[in-house]
Structure 1
Amino acid sequence: MSLRYYIFLKDVLLLALTAFGGPQAHIALMFKLLVDKRRYVTEQELIELNALCSILPGPTSTQTITAIGFKIGGPNLAYLTLLIWILPAASIMAVAALAISYLQEQGISLEFLRIIQPMAVGFVAYAAYMISSKVIHTKTAVVLMVISAILAYFFSSPWVFPALLIAGGAVTALRFKQHPMEKDKQLKIQWANFILYVAVLVVAAVLGAYTSSLPVRLFENFYRNGSLVFGGGQVLIPLLYSEFVDFKEYLTGEEFLSGYAIVQALPGPTFSFTSFIGNLAMREYGLGGQLLGSFVATVGIFLPGTFLIFFVIRFWDELKKYRVVRASLEGISAVSSGMVVAAAILLYHPIENTIINFSIVVATFCLLMFTKIPAPVLILTGLLLGFLI
């Protein structure tokens, strides 16, 4: 491996340990370090890669940094990039789940988490506002956002979300003639990674249906969710809540919100939250089972997006010339923002509806909106207040 690759991986580790604030903040830091300072890619290349990853299911910033690794050093460097990027946050979330399990086994109250639970709702509400302000620019987008928010709120089946995304994309794709036509389109597709992506999905689904093995079923659950999530970690949250809290009851709403609040205080990808969920889902199987749960959940959620970015990056330059592809992005983005609005409301349900809790949600939203206080400082302050009060 060349010295340039080692320096790049060191930079990826630096980002994994310092990139707080979700995909938008991650991309800003990538511009600063990977473009302005190191010049691994040009500014235009990073903008285009991020646009590509925004229309693929999976974790946007994870796919973007993996794609940069791919452009620099091919598949091997890309896989190392992926591992270094996700390992710190996923490991910390596994430890956090173990700590919560231990405290519960010892009969120690989790009451100290009571402040960061409504804070987590404030984070989702802020994400809903930020996403909506960036992607809602037409009356059609407003209508799609409102309809998707209502449907996502009242119909919490995991299959509702991908159906809404497809429908939203189809609605705006019909208006493709509003986009300028580009010439010289020569689309040549290498199908290997897509076939691998579908094969793993099918095998996992079959094994999940015919086995009682919880790790296998967890892998299938997370692989399916990772295959269906457009829009990053904020859109993933309602999917995970409806499946693992409402339907399967692997963890309580309070545990879910506590874990989500903790992941907001960490650098790296929001998708690492799945390490926490997988861990608690396997708590009946002891320490080894919980660590296995974290592993299968993390691999399951990140693998589909990895297969897909490896598949699409090879013909992205040609694909983006098609007007239908560009037009469908508006609908997909609008529906995604509607889902995050619904998530903010749904996540408030398991919290006791008191003036104090509602005030914490509003205060968190306002602090994120009107100040530059970093998210980790807010969460750590909430934990400290939970201990003291």
Structure 2
Amino acid sequence: MSLRYYIFLKDVLLLALTAFGGPQAHIAMMFKLLVEKRRYLTDQELIELNALCQILPGPTSTQTITAIGFRIGGPNLAYLTLLVWITPAATIMALAGFVISYLQENNISLHFLRIILPMAVGFVAYAAWKISVKVVNTKVAIGLMVVSAVLSYFFRSPWVYPLLLVAGGAVTALRFKQHPRELDKRLHIQWANFLLYVGVFVLAAALGGATSSLPVRLFENFYRNGSMVFGGGQVLVPLMYTEFVQFKGYLTGEEFLSGYAIAQALPGPTFSFTSFVGNLAMREYGVAGQFLGSFVATVGIFLPGTFLIFFVIRFWDQLKKYRVVRASLEGISAVSSGMVVAAAIMLYHPIDNTLLNFGIVVATFGLLMFTRIPAPVLILTGLLLGFVL
């Protein structure tokens, strides 16, 4: 492995340990580290990859950083990128499954996280500004961004996200004649990863229905959710609450919300919360069972999106040569930026609307925009203030 690949994986690990605030904030940090500092790719390439990943089901920021790894070093580096990115947060959430009962039994409050939550909103707001400045350059794009923000705010079904992205792409695709023709547009599609995706889906469903094994059924549950969720971890959480708390009773509402609060204070992919849910779902099987629950939940939720991004990324550069596809990227990117604006507003709602919390959001946004203070320093400061105050 070349030195460049080691440096890239070290950068991925740094993001895994410091990228707070969900997929929108992750993209802002990717801009800072992977585009502006390291120049692994251009800002437009990152925007296009992120928009592509938002069209696909699964964890958006995980698919985006895996796709970047693929572009830099092929499938081997992409697999290593995926492992480095998801392991820290998934491990911490698995361990959190062990301690959450102790915290509840001893009435230990999670109130120390109260500063981190509005800070995360500030990170998302900064991501919304950062992306919008780069992609919203025409009146059509501005209109699409506004419409996308409004619709994704008021209609929160997971199917709204891909529909908006496709609609936005269709609007600007009509202007394809403004783009120059490109020769050599032959499309070579390798179907192996798509067939793997479908095959595992069918096999998991069949085994899940035929067996009483809880680990097998958990894998099927999470693989299905990972195959059908668009829009990132914020969309996944209410679906998991309905299925695993209200319907199946694997954990209590208080346990679920406590785990979610911990997940919000962690860097890395929001989908790592599934490691916590799988852990508690298997607590009757002892420590080994809990670790197994975390493992099958994590693999189940991340595998569908991994198969799909590995399928699409192989012919993405060829696909972009078509004028209609290139033209559609403007609309897709504008809609994507509108979704980030809506996400910033939606994520603020669960937080108490106090002057202090609003001030923390504004202060975080200002510090990210006007200073060079590293994100981990801001987060650690927020954690310390939560303990002290």
Give TM class, smaller chain. 0.7 to 0.9
1:315-330 residue pairs with structure 2 within 5 A? Answer: 315-330=315-330
C-alpha spacing 1:132/1:33, structure 2 compared with 1 (3 Å): closer
Identify the residue that residue 266 of structure 1 maps to in structure 2: none
Identify the residue that residue 167 of structure 1 maps to in structure 2: 167
What residue identity is the alignment partner of 1:259?
Answer: A
Residue from 240, 248, 259 that aligns with 2:236:
240
Identify the residue that residue 285 of structure 1 maps to in structure 2: 282
C-alpha distance in structure 2 between counterparts of 1:155 and 1:377, whole Å: 36
Matched, 1:261 2:268: no
C-alpha spacing 1:219/1:330, structure 2 compared with 1 (3 Å): same
Residue from 47, 52, 73 that aligns with 1:55:
52
Residue from 7, 22, 37 that aligns with 1:11:
7
Identify the residue that residue 378 of structure 2 maps to in structure 1: 378
What is the TM-score normalised by the length of structure 2? 0.78
- What is the CA-CA distance between 1:151 and the residue it aligns to? 1.8
C-alpha spacing 1:349/1:318, structure 2 compared with 1 (3 Å): closer
- What is the CA-CA distance between 1:203 and the residue it aligns to? 5.1
- What is the CA-CA distance between 1:87 and the residue it aligns to? 2.4
Structural RMSD (CA): 3.4
Q: Where does the alignment leave 5 or more consecutive residues of structure 2 unmatched?
A: 20-25, 246-252
Contact 1:113 1:383 in 2 (8 A): yes
C-alpha distance in structure 2 between counterparts of 1:337 and 1:207, whole Å: 40
C-alpha distance in structure 1 between counterparts of 2:204 and 2:383, whole Å: 38
C-alpha distance in structure 2 between counterparts of 1:201 and 1:170, whole Å: 30
What residue identity is the alignment partner of 1:68?
Answer: I
Identify the residue that residue 233 of structure 1 maps to in structure 2: none
Please say which of residues 341-350 and 78-87 is displaced more in the overlay.
Answer: 78-87
What residue identity is the alignment partner of 2:333?
Answer: S
What residue identity is the alignment partner of 1:60?
Answer: T
What residue identity is the alignment partner of 1:334?
Answer: A
Matched, 1:347 2:351: no
Contact 1:63 1:305 in 2 (8 A): no
C-alpha spacing 1:145/1:206, structure 2 compared with 1 (3 Å): farther
- What is the CA-CA distance between 1:326 and the residue it aligns to? 0.7
C-alpha spacing 1:333/1:292, structure 2 compared with 1 (3 Å): farther
- What is the CA-CA distance between 1:307 and the residue it aligns to? 2.5
C-alpha spacing 1:247/1:161, structure 2 compared with 1 (3 Å): farther
C-alpha spacing 1:350/1:309, structure 2 compared with 1 (3 Å): closer
- What is the CA-CA distance between 1:290 and the residue it aligns to? 4.9
C-alpha spacing 1:11/1:55, structure 2 compared with 1 (3 Å): same
What residue identity is the alignment partner of 1:308?
Answer: L
What is the TM-score normalised by the length of structure 1? 0.78
- What is the CA-CA distance between 1:384 and the residue it aligns to? 0.9
C-alpha distance in structure 2 between counterparts of 1:381 and 1:33, whole Å: 24
C-alpha distance in structure 1 between counterparts of 2:352 and 2:152, whole Å: 22
Identify the residue that residue 147 of structure 2 maps to in structure 1: 147
C-alpha distance in structure 2 between counterparts of 1:345 and 1:165, whole Å: 19
Secondary structure, aligned partner of 2:189: coil
1:1-389 residue pairs with structure 2 within 5 A? Answer: 5=1, 7=3, 10-19=6-15, 20-21=18-19, 22-26=26-30, 29-30=33-34, 51-52=48-49, 54-56=51-53, 57=56, 58=60, 59-70=63-74, 75-76=75-76, 78-96=78-96, 98-100=98-100, 102-201=102-201, 213-225=217-229, 228-229=230-231, 236-244=232-240, 255-263=259-267, 270-271=268-269, 273-280=270-277, 282-286=279-283, 287-288=287-288, 290-389=290-389
What residue identity is the alignment partner of 1:283?
Answer: L
Contact 1:65 1:81 in 2 (8 A): yes
Cα deviation digits, residues 257-278 of structure 1 (max 9, x gap): 5422321xxxxxx42x212244
Please say which of residues 15-24 and 49-58 is displaced more in the overlay.
Answer: 49-58
Contact 2:66 2:78 in 1 (8 A): no
C-alpha distance in structure 1 between counterparts of 2:163 and 2:359, whole Å: 35
C-alpha distance in structure 2 between counterparts of 1:139 and 1:293, whole Å: 49
- What is the CA-CA distance between 1:245 and the residue it aligns to? 5.3
Identity of aligned residues (%): 57
What residue identity is the alignment partner of 2:52?
Answer: I
- What is the CA-CA distance between 1:24 and the residue it aligns to? 4.9
Contact 1:319 1:325 in 2 (8 A): yes
C-alpha spacing 1:63/1:290, structure 2 compared with 1 (3 Å): farther
Cα deviation digits, residues 319-378 of structure 1 (max 9, x gap): 221011111111211222222222212212221222212211222121212211111111
C-alpha distance in structure 1 between counterparts of 2:288 and 2:199, whole Å: 28
What residue identity is the alignment partner of 1:388?
Answer: V
C-alpha distance in structure 2 between counterparts of 1:325 and 1:193, whole Å: 22
Please say which of residues 306-315 and 316-325 is displaced more in the overlay.
Answer: 306-315
Secondary structure, aligned partner of 1:352: coil
C-alpha distance in structure 1 between counterparts of 2:2 and 2:102, whole Å: 38
C-alpha distance in structure 2 between counterparts of 1:136 and 1:312, whole Å: 25
What residue identity is the alignment partner of 2:273?
Answer: F
Please say which of residues 125-134 and 50-59 is displaced more in the overlay.
Answer: 50-59
What residue identity is the alignment partner of 2:370?
Answer: F
Please say which of residues 275-284 and 145-154 is displaced more in the overlay.
Answer: 275-284
Q: Where does the alignment leave 5 or more consecutive residues of structure 1 unmatched?
A: 36-41, 230-235, 264-269
